[in-house]
Chains A and B, each alone.
Chain A
Amino acid sequence: MLQVDRLVAGYEPGLPIVRGASIQVVRGEIVAVLGPNGAGKSTLIKAIAGLVRVESGEVRFDGQDLRRLPAHRLVRAGLAFVPQTENVFANLTIQENLELAGFFLGRRRCQERVGAMFELFPDLARQRTLPAGRLSGGQRQMLAVARALLVEPGMIMLDEPSAGLSPRLVAEVFAKLAEVRAEGTTILMVEQNVKAALALADRAYVLAEGRERLSGRAAELASHGDLASLFLGGAGR
């Protein structure tokens, strides 16, 4: 479904942060991208989302070359992205956040989808007229996921969905992500919380210095001997 080949990307020309990373996501999977701070995980996911300059390499989604697509067209192509922080419009209400996400669906379809999201996230439905800026961290993350799911994307990418959340909220968010996958949405997520991510994901990649160093089934990676050394700054095998 998503194929990333030898991707080189960064914020400044000639100073790549992602240095030849390759990952693959198959339809229906949950894939986690793990790695220590500065490994280039967030840059990788932002480069796929079209928000960071790509110097070379390929990004294909359902056979479509994403490098040729403006970033704002990705969501219409079926690929939604949930940023790590500031992932809701704090100055808009919950309902306005959702309605804005579905603006290109047409009024009737958009309202149907907003209703569906309120069914999936009843906590948001109860506070629909509240400005998103007044939500707690966990509620914001739920709204951000709902905003991404509203357009029924084939795949959603999440940048550290557990960032800044208490363990209880992380469990809640990850349980919701499992529900989302059960409904048929493919998930690619970047995570710092290795334990929680590997418990949820089918497969995982471990990035270090801008490239994938380890990959495999999540259950196998959890007990892999090189995992700890990569997080502690080792180069792995």
Chain B
Amino acid sequence: MILQQLADGLILGSIIALGAIGLTLTYAILRFANFAHGEFLTFGAYLALLALGQFQALSTATFGPLSFGWPLLASLAVAILATAGLALLLDRLLFARLGRAGVAIAVVMGSFGAALALRNLLFFAFGGEPQYYSRAIQIALPLLPRSVLGGVRVTPDQLAVLGITVLLVIAMHLFLARATLGRAMRAVAHNPQLATVTGIDVAAVVRWTWIIGAGLAAVAGVFAGLTVQIRPTMGLDLLLPLFAAVILGGIGSPLGAVLGGLIVGIAESLAVPLVGAEYRAAVAFLLLILILLVRPTGLFGERG
């Protein structure tokens, strides 16, 4: 059983990790905790669902054992672009205006309000019933036999989610380490004024941060929808694990967020047999408190 829980936790953790990368970047560069980030995941999932309805009219073919094919990948691209657009719109209409007032808590409360409005908009548009990208039943493949600590079974979709997440995390790491824009993002996160005098257009970096953060959130939302289900509250349910992952990894550290996401996902999954599924969310909360008490700067955060 324990290996199965580890595998489940790894898949959940990879989805949390993708969402947490965007959250940690916005936290570090925009300097506020965006409580609407969970809604970016939800919006991504629903926007992909909407687009899928259109693309499936063109093709219903799937990739081998997976439940999806090109239509979902095309829908994912639409969701990434549209969620990035939503983030830019929110920034222009709300966050940037509140930020100019110079009261940090106003921006945080603004993000609370935006989250509420977006979530209820989704309830209004789609209702509260769970929805799915595919109703096809997937057979879980045995990766390890039952004789080895209870064995491990995963669906092809779960394996695809894990594989794509690994590729995205590597791409993000290389982007931040080597690309000019990636380095500019790290520079702005460290010192926006110094970045300005170095010739970096901080406003442009902020826009790209929204685009990348919201884009990754959309991918996480689609993956959550693919491996679990699509609900208007899916982002809200993931918000606490996202923050726990960001703080565990150290604010501003994308690699830390990935590691934090995996730790939170695995901890939640391992806790199910101990405390029951209904209390699994409390694990992220307990982890969050523990991190703040023991190492407030997180695993990869800068001290001081």
Contact = CB atoms under 8 A, between A and B. Distances in A.
Interface stretch (B45-53, B109-117, B184-192, B271-279): B184-192
A99 B179 CA distance: 11
Given A86-B191, A100-B180, A103-B180, A92 B186 contact: yes
B203 to A, nearest CB: 9
* Interface pairs A-B: 3 shortest CB-CB: A75-B199, A81-B197, A103-B180
Contacts of B302: 90-91, 133
A87 B198 CA distance: 10
Task: Identify whether the interface residues of B are mostly helix, strand, loop, or mixed.
Answer: helix
**What band does the interface of chain B fall in when counting residues whose beta carbon is under 8 Å from A?**
10 to 19
Contacts of A51: 193, 196-197
A74 B197 contact: yes
Interface of A: 49-51, 70-76, 80-81, 83, 86-92, 96, 99-101, 103-104, 133, 147, 151
A49 B196 CA distance: 10
Contacts of B237: none
Nearest to B189: A91
Contacts of B196: 50-51, 71-72
A229 B193 CA distance: 35
A72 B194 contact: no
Given A72-B202, A86-B191, A92 B197 contact: no
B200 interface: yes
Given A72-B202, A86-B191, A90-B190, A100 B197 contact: no
B281 to A, nearest CB: 33
B92 interface: no
Contact of A89 (B180, B187, B199, B201): B187
A91 B197 contact: no
Given A89-B186, A89-B191, A100-B187, A71 B197 contact: yes
Question: Interface centre among B184, B193, B201, B202, by most A CB within 10 Å?
Answer: B193
Interface of B: 180, 183-184, 186-187, 189-191, 193-202, 302
B223 to A, nearest CB: 30
A50 B197 CA distance: 9
A80 B197 contact: yes
Contacts of B197: 49, 51, 71-72, 74-75, 80-81, 83
A59 to B, nearest CB: 15
Residue from the set A51, A91, A96 with the largest chain B CB neighbour count within 10 Å: A91
Given A99-B183, A100-B183, A103-B184, A89 B194 contact: yes
B194 A151 contact: no
11 contacts: A50-B196, A51-B193, A51-B197, A70-B201, A72-B195, A72-B201, A75-B198, A90-B302, A100-B184, A100-B187, A103-B183
